[in-house]
Structure 1
Amino acid sequence: MISTVLRGALRARGDEPAVLGHTGEGARSPLTRLRTRRGDRIVDLDTHPMGTPVTEGEDPEAGLVAVVAATPTDLHRALTTAVHLPRAAHVLVSILATPGHQEPPLPSAPGLGQWRDLHEVRVRRVDRDGWVCELFFPHATRPDQVLDTVVHGMRGRRRGAAVTPLAALHGTEGALWRPGDTGVQGVTEAGPVPLRRVTPQADLALRVGQDPRPDWTDADVPALETEPTDADSWAGLVGSHAPTRARAQVRTRSAADEDGLVHTVAPIDELTVNPTGFTKAEKGQLGDLTVHGDRAVVRQGRKVLVTVAADGTVTDVDLSRLRHLRGVRVDWSGHTGPTAAVRAVASLAAGGVPLLSGTVPTWAVGLGSRLAALLTGADEDDLADRLRREEHSVRLRRAALELHGTRSRWRDLARRAGIPAPPEPTVSVVLCTRRPEMVGFALAQIARQRGVGVEVVLALHGFGADRPEVASALGRFDATGIPLTVHEADQEQVFGSVLNDAVARAGGSLIAKWDDDDWYGPDHLADLLLARRYSGAELVGAGQDFVFLQEIDLTVWRSRESETATRFIAGGTVLVDRVVLEETGGFRPLPRAIDTQLLLAVARGGGRIHRTHGLGYVLRRTGAGHTWSEDMSYFLRNHARQWSGWRPSTLLEGEPAPLGAPVATDTTGERP
């Protein structure tokens, strides 16, 4: 079907040449069956070097530019190389396969009126899970901009924070280092970075290639060098050529600098390779990441589920084909070479695939010690238990995304080049409470948050900060150095209005809602920020997986679907951009159900809500006093497992002692 669409596009393009690009495994196949003319070009966008235009001329044009991508991951990577494609009046984008959670590729027009004369857009599904999107213009337009809008349409309206610094790239694997960035500037190997009037078009250049390299000629823009993925291929390592610098590093590195080689590995595209779509598959079979012929594959028995690209890239479609597996055993004897193996393993971990491994070989140093240790930290019995399996998956995905994600990799490169990076966003934790005895308990949960810049706005609803237990807790919290603003609200003021007043006093770009009596793990906010980054959602939160029923001293685990788009999350875990809160009108001035009303407003405004895992949060249910009115029987009917007493996930890492005066207990010793 895709070949039929391409034939029709070639017949309709008139006398002008066509440029047909392909990216990803199997994407070239539909192009080989086409009848082309002299002057037409078929371009491998995965190997085309950054800094080299696809066609010659001052402002080249084509009658048709078509890009065939195997998966959304491949299309996202091709955006970077697409800056070198010629302008065209007819642009066709084809995706051969998409994962089940992917939205249709509906293009969203750019915002400066560039498409006001657009003639026609066609979007259609082809084959079982492929798509074709065609756009027709009266005049030639930039195809990279068209590809960008198609990808943006698949992800939703929010683009998220840009990867910084602005980059210039040279080499055949440049796009692997900076996927999805149409702001990238391609440069020649020696430079310089072109100017836009008097300003360089990039702050940092990355040259991907092997020695010898010419000297870098740009005195204003620093350049870093890195090896392509195949520089340490096994074929190269056993060949007759002298080892390159990267090969020597792998052979001679010491334990002290093993994490220093993480930055030499091309990053993971976390916008497409992430745990979205994770399933509870503890009863599934185990797969094996091993070698089949000359390629690394993931195999279930004799069936090959995924063939890993030679550069170690794992796509979103690959991950969807592995979700039914309980886990994957890593066989280190295969793979194209060390760097490709590291990228494949790190990508599977970032995708939430539970991995098992024996001793990690010394040549896999690019994984980083944290991720390497986690790979050996579980066994097959762990993966047969639903809870322990998900805990292992969460630890793996955290480490892989934080060590190998594109955003973190480029911040590390910027530090190495001496380029200041913009600060990470500050999270304003908004805590509104009517219970002075719970202030110390709630502040203790916030004080142990790690990996996030935090400030707190504490709204005391109906009492003052001079209460002894409150003053004691505030004094202890002040010693943490975390900024704190205290707002005393009148007892008669409605709850939603108090929250809005607290938000008005917050200085962070992100707002996190916090409940005074629930438990939060130390990575709660960091996990939400991570989910915000890879999901692109306007609002993220956790599910109400763990619930402590205080009246009967029972913990239930509901094991809800996680890492998915949803309409409902736990109200005490809301993380939302401040601007989104403003767009939706803030919290409604109601005494209860304000969380539900916010979720409805976000969805009504076209925003997306993403639910990440709920293992770092425990909801407390007492007999009364909750704004969510479900009774205890609701939780007793809807659970996967239960335990007597307080029994959270190990990811919660225990219970911190309340700050200030100890929280009183009744004669039975129960928590209030």
Structure 2
Amino acid sequence: MDLDVHPVGERVEVEGVGGEGEPGSVGLVAVVAASVSDLRRAVAVAGELPRAAHLLVAVEYVPAHLGPLAPVPPGMDEWNDLYELRVRRVGRRGWVCEAFFPGGTGAAEFLSAVVHGARGRRRGSGTGFFGGLHGRGAGAWLPGELSARGAPASGPVEMDRVTPVSDVVLRLDEGQGLPFWEDVEVPALDRYTAEAAYRPAAGTPDRAAPRVYGPDPVGRIAPVDERLVNPSGFRPESGGPMGLLTVHDGNVVLYDGRKIRAEVPRDGTVTDAGLDHVRDLRGVRVDWSENTGTAMVRAVASLAAGGVPLVGGPVPVWAAGLGEELSELLSSTEEEHLADALRREEHSVRLRRAALRAHGVRARWRALAAEAGLAVPPEPRVSVVLCTRRPGMVGFALAQIARQRGAEVEVVLALHGFPASLPEVASAVAEYEATGRPLVVHEAEGDTVFGAVLNEAVARASGTLVAKWDDDDWYGPEHLADLLLARTYSGADVVGISHSYTYLETLDLTVRRTSFSEMPHKGILGGSILADRGILEEVGGFRPRPRAVDSQFLLAVGRVGGRVYRTHGLGYVLRRSGEGHTWNVDLGYFLGGRTEQWTGWRPSALLEGVPEPFGGRRDAGR
């Protein structure tokens, strides 16, 4: 059976199973998918399948940046009945996983464990509420979520003792209309399926305007599964061919000038495997000449979320579901600009930001919950830990933090060996506090080693996440927001940036290193570490050493099985002056390898200039 067309909310009945005096499980359930994205989409539908003694999952293509199809067992002894587990590679990129449970187990639970194993340690940030689904293709709206439950077309929602199993239900209308929703406790939202939304009514032209449910055009289409459709695997080279996203024989296809790379289904789904097949392209031009509705809009949003550089001129009215920011970006860059590797990557970063924030599953469901009148939980707070021995750099660093956008920020300022009463420190602190953001000041003893001062600062932080900040480096206003995005789509315990830009102060020279980003990798800059509180506790914090505390922390994370992810470094410039660094390497380290060099201070456009330092020290930024 095709799980994409089986309605969520309709149980699959098997003759001779589940009745009185009959076995409670079938012998075998096998799920075959083309990609891990398809497998995540099937989790919600698999909840309608019967229990099985033998479960087999096969995925035809798993990109290299994902792990093998080895499941992560649940944490409450649900698998004590497991008899045998097999994982094997099939062909070059395929995997098969089999499990045997004599007493039977649920297919959805097993699929969830398998996709979690392929993605790494963390499951990612939750929404704080449970979503229910009804209708064909509903799995695309909440992929990989074991908490997603099917609901009858008219309700009511199933109860777990005295609590509904869902807080809000999304119903998909196939064009015939939906019955009155009868559940007075759980709200329901209605959307058309991709086919029904663009099916012309009787007596209207073939390309009729879409039917809509919901006030926001962005929220009318299914979201992008950011856990798999994301920038992971992005290539910084700019020498590949250009692709064209266009219509051929009524279908949306991606053409590279010689052959069709991919054919997009009617609902616009782009998978992790599809992205992997187009990573060598310099970019993709979007052809808006024919109204294909959801297929084109969702495909463009998915490619943008994956970091594929897109160009396409003005976006037509029928594609308003892309959102204003993403639409403007598509017409902001011409094809010839993508020949420059730096400009190409900058454009890619802007696209992925807009697409992930507007079309990611988490963002979509938070918007749906707000539309349904639910109280949406606040975003996690980031505690920025700033430890410094230099009073003159406090105002410079606080000004960098103050301009951060897209993140809820608290600052813990550790003054290492000097008091907060120094005039330049007091004025800088007062100017930062005037912004209204919380600030905690800690005066550390001068003879305390650096790693111990960091731990003292972390102990005074109240945020869910802890970000390390260097006092003399330059940070773009989206620095923390980019790290939060990377944390969401990577499932990593620690995220940071690649080392791209360095300003050599003694030579008045800016150096850019060509380095790969968007990958699991422990090689991140220490001044960009963003870590979950849980992983800090697991490794015991930072080692009480005077230097190399960042690299030692990252090694410790690896030893406890944590995952470190490296995102782009275009919004950051490392300052290298003559002295005062805990990382002792000579200037030759920064000048070697594949680098670009410019006289003077020349950052990426994503840094967006430099703010004036707080406290009146206008020379601190030089």
TM-score interval, smaller chain: over 0.9
- The residue aligned with 1:31 is none
* Amino acid of the structure 2 residue aligned with 1:276: S
Please give the secondary structure, in 2, of the residue aligned with 1:660. helix
Are 1:232 and 2:197 matched, yes or no?
yes
Quick check: 1:657 aligned with 2:612? yes
Secondary structure of the residue aligned to 2:274 is helix
Match of 1:50 in 2: 8
How much is the aligned-residue C-alpha RMSD, in angstroms? 1.8
Cα distance in 1 for residues equivalent to 2:247 and 2:59:
27
Identify which of 483, 489, 494 aligns with 2:444.
489
Matched, 1:300 2:256: yes
Q: Which residue of 2 aligns with 1:313?
A: 269
Identity of aligned residues (%): 56
Larger RCO (alpha carbons 8 Å, 6+ apart): 2
What TM-score, normalized by structure 1, do the two folds share? 0.89
Contact 1:271 1:534 in 2 (8 A): yes
How far apart in 1 are the matches of 2:460 and 2:74?
Answer: 34
Give CA-to-partner distance per residue, 1:317-338, whole Å, 9 cap, x none: 1111111010001012357x21
Contact residue 231 and residue 244 of structure 1 kept, 8 A: no
Map 1:175-194 → 2, pairs under 5 A: 175-194=139-158
> Contact 1:458–1:486 at 8 Å: present in 2 too?
yes
Q: Distance in 2 between matches of 1:406 and 1:164?
A: 13
Matches of 2:432 and 2:88, distance apart in 1: 57
SS at match of 1:383: helix
User: What residue identity is the alignment partner of 2:121?
Assistant: R
Give, in angstroms, the shift of residue 630 of structure 1: 1.4
1:278/1:550 CA distance change after superposition, 3 Å = same
The equivalent position to 1:322 in structure 2, one of 253, 256, 278, is 278
Q: Distance in 1 between matches of 2:162 and 2:208?
A: 36
1:239 deviates by: 5.4
The corresponding residue for 2:385 is 430
Of 387, 396, 401, 1:441 maps to 396
Mapped partners of 2:435, 2:405: distance in 1: 12
TM-score by length of 2: 0.96
User: Residue 420 of structure 2 contacts residue 426 of structure 2 at CA under 8 Å; is this kept in 1?
Assistant: yes
Aligned pairs for 1:122-521 within 5 A: 122-209=86-173, 210-233=175-198, 236-237=199-200, 240=203, 247-248=210-211, 260-334=216-290, 337-521=292-476
For 1:371 and 1:552, the matched residues in 2 are separated by: 40
Distance 1:213 1:539 in 2: 45
Amino acid at match of 2:203: S
Matched residue SS, 1:237: coil
> 1 CA distance for matches of 2:231 and 2:211?
34
Q: Deviations over 1:260-281 (max 9, x none)?
A: 2111111000001000000012
Moved more, 44-53 or 240-249: 240-249
Alignment check: 8 A CA contact 1:281 1:323 kept: no
CA distance in structure 2 between the aligned counterparts of 1:277 and 1:226, rounded to whole angstroms: 33
Q: How big is the shift at 1:246?
A: 7.6
Task: Encode CA deviations 1:182-233: one digit per residue, 9 max, x unaligned.
Answer: 1111011100001111111111011111352211000000111111111233
Give 3-state SS (helix, strand or coil) of 1:352's partner.
coil
Decide whether aligned partners of structure 1 residues 355 and 245 sit closer, same or farther in structure 2, where only a CA change above 3 A counts. closer
Q: Deviations over 1:382-439 (max 9, x none)?
A: 1000100000000000000000000000000111111011111000000000000000
Partner of 2:508: 553
Mapped contact 1:165–1:410 kept (Cα < 8 A): no
Q: Distance in 2 between matches of 1:612 and 1:359?
A: 30
SS in structure 2 opposite 1:576?
Answer: strand
Q: Is 1:230–1:340's contact at 8 Å kept on the other side of the alignment?
A: no
Letter in 2 for 1:143: A
Equivalence map 1:27-38=2 (5 Å): none
Q: Which residue of structure 2 lines up, in the alignment, with residue 38 of structure 1?
A: none
Once the two structures are superposed, residues 92-142 of structure 1 have per-residue CA deviations (whole angstroms, 9 ceiling, x without a partner) of: 000011112110011121122122231111111112211111101111111
Classify 1:431/1:616 alpha carbon distance in 2 versus 1 (closer, same or farther; 3 Å): same
Distance of 2:434 and 2:8 partners within structure 1 = 51
**Are the equivalent residues in 2 in contact too, given 1:165–1:411 (CA < 8 A)?**
no
Task: Assess, with a 3 A threshold, how the Cα gap between structure 1 residues 378 and 478 changes in structure 2: closer, same or farther.
Answer: same
CA deviation after TM superposition for structure 1 residue 288, in Å: 0.6
Question: For the Cα contact (< 8 Å) 1:550–1:621, is it kept in 2?
Answer: yes
Contact 2:391-2:418 within 8 A present in 1 as well? yes
- Is 2:80 the partner of 1:116? yes
Q: How far did residue 248 of structure 1 move?
A: 4.9
Q: CA deviation at 1:245?
A: 11
Q: Higher mean Cα deviation, 59-68 or 281-290?
A: 59-68
* Alignment map for 1:43-82 (pairs within 5 Å): 43-55=1-13, 61-82=25-46
Q: Compared with structure 1, are the counterparts of its residues 287 and 242 closer, same or farther at alpha carbon in structure 2 (3 Å cutoff)?
A: closer
CA distance in 2, matches of 1:146, 1:591: 47
Distance 2:436 2:531 in 1: 24
| CA offset digits 1:119-178 (Å, max 9, x no partner) | 111111112211111101111111111111111111112112223421111110211111
Q: Distance in 2 between matches of 1:480 and 1:58?
A: 62
SS at match of 2:457: helix
Equivalent residue letter for 1:240: G
For residue 197 of structure 1, what is the amino acid of its counterpart?
R
Q: Aligned to 1:84, what secondary structure does the other structure show?
A: coil
Equivalent-residue separation in structure 1 for 2:88 and 2:490 (angstroms): 24
Relative distance call for 1:242 and 1:190 in structure 2 (3 A) is farther
Deviation by residue 1:445-479 (Cα, 9 ceiling, x = unmatched): 00000011000000000000110100110111011
Which residue in the other structure is 1:533 paired with?
488
2:582 aligned with 1:618? no
List structure 1 segments (4+ residues) > 6 angstroms apart after TM superposition: 241-246
The whole-number CA distance in structure 2 between the counterparts of 1:239 and 1:637 is 68
